[in-house]
Chain A
């Protein structure tokens, strides 16, 4: 029992640390971070108190968790976290581009007006 607790505990702490470091480096938007921090905390709670899991499996009637399933879940979790980080970066870039386009359009309009005024006063 203790071994399981240590292994799963280390895994969830590792996830939590990864998530936290990604937010700290502004690589993960808070929008996604809220979800991730909560999922990591839930993982941590289950790894410290595995009895809770047994209670749930009793209620649901599911008893066997194979290593294969465990690894696939961990694998999927890592990929999804990676996607969240990529999404955050993409939306940051997207935001910057949209802001620049907006500012450029305004500058263009201002130049046009100035040009028009010059022509009018020059003629």
Chain B
């Protein structure tokens, strides 16, 4: 089982303060995985620090946003023939010791995508009110669309297998990709399963989405999901 080639993809935008501790944590808990940091045009020393730590770095020449950043990671995973790719944030929110739980359904062949959920299990996760409304809305919508119970479709802590890597490296949504990625994956016939995870406070930096951002996020993603249902599957 452990002979599977596993890649942890860390999307990073100005995360020099926290990224080394995340990399250190991953190595401590999972000594046999490769780590790829996709640096989305950071203006700080994220890239140099990661390279000095000996992880792979893809430096995007300009800021492309989270969707394109993750896609670059999946492109690398596909070309280097990895069996599993894990998305893990570089700000310390996604604690690496939980990656093992996350990839279990993939190793057992029970799913193509293992999505972390902050609400399964009793970890008492709380978020701002506009966000909670958005999450409830999307989890209802996605549960109906995918016919699988999804409690936390906006969470970015995920692991995907080869089949899903291939699909995501060919097409991955742009701005707020998490929810849409699940809809597209479902349309491609990929099996999604949620895994309870615990989220920690960021070690550095702020969320990319503020109060008014939450509203725009909701409208935009709703429209995108609606349109995804009609999109050509190719």
- Interface positions of A (Cβ within 8 A of B): 20, 23-26, 29-31, 33-34, 37, 95, 98-99, 101-103, 105-106, 109-110
Contacts and interface: CB of A to CB of B under 8 A. Distances in A.
Given A24-B232, A31-B175, A34-B220, A99 B227 contact: no
Contacts of A29: 174
- Chain A interface SS verdict (over half): helix
Contact of A99 (B68, B175, B220, B230): B68
A30 B62 contact: no
Contact of B59 (A25, A102, A110): A102
A98 B60 contact: yes
B61 interface: yes
A99 B219 contact: no
Contact of A102 (B38, B51, B223, B224): B38
A95 B76 contact: no
- Chain B interface SS verdict (over half): mixed
A98 B175 contact: no
Contacts of A98: 60-62, 64, 68
B76 A106 contact: yes
Interface in B53-92: 56-62, 64, 68, 71-72, 75-76, 79
A33 B227 contact: yes
B231 interface: yes
Given A23-B227, A24-B231, A99-B68, A30 B57 contact: no
Contact of B174 (A24, A31, A34): A31
